[in-house]
Amino acid sequence: MEADAVNVTGDDNNNQQPFPVILDELGKPIGAAALAYLGDAVFELQVRKRLVTCGQYNLNGMHKAAVDTVSASAQAAALARLSPVLTPQEVAVVRMGRNTKTSVPRSASVSEYRLSTGFEALVGYLYLSGNERRLQELMNLVWEEGDRQDED
């Protein structure tokens, strides 16, 4: 599935990065909320894969680590770590996800939840656009930084 960049801002000047759009099988754009929905599942799978392949947890430990890693606050922190290396197109996807209207659970602040939704939208976008290499590159950066923080 190819990702097409479409300027949906209505602004013809080139100061604004066009919002990247992925089309579904019927040719309709997939919204940021749907990208975040998929990104949530993809990220959880990435986390579980990493925990299983590290081989250092029992099942209860892996579950607790996974829950902690996929929390809104952890995803918001991951996005903050990735921000310096994101492309303008990826930033546009994050912005779309962050600005999506959603209800916020009690377990997260509005700010954290919006940032985590932006992170999930980015993960879903990279997955659906077939950019697995870039997705893995970003996940590796998240893991490296997380490992450094665990050592402190």
Residue 3 parent element (H or E):
strand 3-6
Residues 6+ apart with CB under 8 A from 146: 69, 78
For residue 10, the cross-strand partners are none
Q: Residue 24 catalytic?
A: no
Phi and psi at residue 125, to the nearest 5°: -60, -50
Q: Which of 4, 12, 24, 40 is catalytic?
A: 40
Q: Give the span between the Cα atoms of 116 and 113, in whole angstroms.
A: 5
For residue 20, the cross-strand partners are 5
Catalytic residue numbers, as ranges? 40
